[in-house]
Amino acid sequence: MPFPNGTAIGKYKIKGFIGAGHFGEVYRVRDRAIDADSALKLLPIADPKHYVELVEAKIQHKCRHQNCVTINSADVKSVGGTPYACIDMELMTGGSLESLLERQFLSVRHAVKLITDVPFGLEHAHCQGIVHKDIKPGNILLVGDVAKLSDFGLSEEMNEYGK
């Protein structure tokens, strides 16, 4: 159940619900400390002694690239007595490629432009030893005419020997 607009979570104030996945929800929030909007992903924490939900933020932060959604910070906050991993991310105002495809027809030129952004982000992740494992239109987010890879929740870090 989404949190209502106006809910305060630390320095953030919820402005709207963006969407939900299998593991958490994403909100448009106002960071009151710096007076700026961002996206805040909230993941309920299964075991408060081991914040494995923050691994996603750590992995995605390693993949800083113009074609990967930027992680600003990650922390654990209690909301209504429940601990949540709070991942502050770049706000992608264009939504997902999936929602764009559902709303409108894309010209070949536009589709090729968007889809060619993704391999650059993916190559960068691979060079950092990260395997994404969940490439799909819903995990490709848009801002302006740029597509960026997001949702590193199923990703794994690989060493030089594979795992």
Mean pLDDT of the 140-145 span: 94
Question: What's the pLDDT score for residue 55?
Answer: 86
* Cα–Cα dist 82/79, whole Å: 5
Residue 146 near residue 116 (C-beta atoms within 8 A): no
Question: What's the pLDDT score for residue 34?
Answer: 95
Binning pLDDT at 50, 70 and 90, where does residue 1 land?
Answer: low
Contacts of 30 (CB under 8 A, 6+ apart): 12, 13, 15, 36, 37
Residue 89 near residue 29 (C-beta atoms within 8 A): no
Q: Does residue 160 surpass a pLDDT of 70?
A: no
**Is the whole-model pTM more than 0.85?**
yes
Sorted by where each starts, the structural domains of the chain and their CATH numbers stand as 8-89 (3.30.200.20), 97-157 (1.10.510.10)
Tokens matching residue 126: 């691979």
Tokens matching residue 74: 């990650």
Residues serving a catalytic function are 134
